[in-house]
Structures are given as C-alpha cells and as structure tokens.
A = this chain, B = another copy of it.
Amino acid sequence: MRGGGYKATPQRMAVLGALAEEQHQSLEEIRGRCLEVGLVTVYRTLSLLVELGIVRRLDLGDGARYELAEDHHHHMICESCGDISEFEECPLDPERLPPENADFEVRSHSLEVYGRCGACR
C-alpha cells in the first residue's frame, strides 16, 4: 500500500479492519463498522482497494459486496436465507476452457452456485 505512494491513513486502516471482520459485506455494512469514516471516504477507499487488487467486488444481484481478495474461491448462495458460503475446490474442467472454436484468451473466471443451504432445507 505504501509502495504505490499512498498514505496509510486511519480511515483506510479502519476500512481494512472492517473488511477483515467479515467477507461479502455491502458498503453500508462496512460503513457500520467504521462510523468515524466519512461516507465519501468509504466509497473512495473501497474503489482504491479494488483498484490495487487488495479487495474484490462481488455483484451477486443484490448490490455490490466486498471481500478481501484472498485465494481463488467460489460462492454458494442460498436462495432462501441469502447466506453466502465459500469453497475452494474449483469444479471447472480446465480442458474445456476456453470452449472449442472460441478465439479467446482466458484470464480468470467467476462462478456462483445457487440453491439451498443445509439450514434452509
């Protein structure tokens, strides 16, 4: 973070701290964990962290959510209670990407699985 000539401000530390407390939070949830940081700064800091690759932004249909960009993983989303859980084992068959005949250089992918979690069945 310092490397890029960015200042380590208390606001940025607070947002990072909020992100560390829980994955997949909305901006408002993050904001709730660092009320001393101005709204504009939360927006700006999240944009910056995403830009720097420190944070990943998720679009799961109910507005943006943010998570610390750790290892490659995927999400299971319960359509009943909205719970989001993670899993690491990538069920993609690398042989089949890119698809046959497609002239495309694959850089990354995102996979979300929808259904019902154990608690909701």
Give the B-binding residues of A (Cβ under 8 A): 57, 59-61, 76, 78-79, 85, 87-89, 91-93, 95-100, 102-118, 121
Contact = CB atoms under 8 A, between A and B. Distances in A.
A99 to B, nearest CB: 4
Contacts of A61: 57, 59
Q: Main SS of chain A's interface residues?
A: strand
A88 to B, nearest CB: 8
Given A57-B61, A61-B59, A91-B97, A114 B110 contact: yes
Given A59-B59, A59-B61, A111-B109, A117 B92 contact: no
A108 B111 CA distance: 11
Contacts of A85: 102, 104
B105 A116 contact: yes
Q: Which 9 A-B pairs have the closest CB atoms?
A: A103-B118, A91-B96, A59-B59, A107-B115, A87-B99, A105-B116, A106-B115, A109-B113, A105-B115
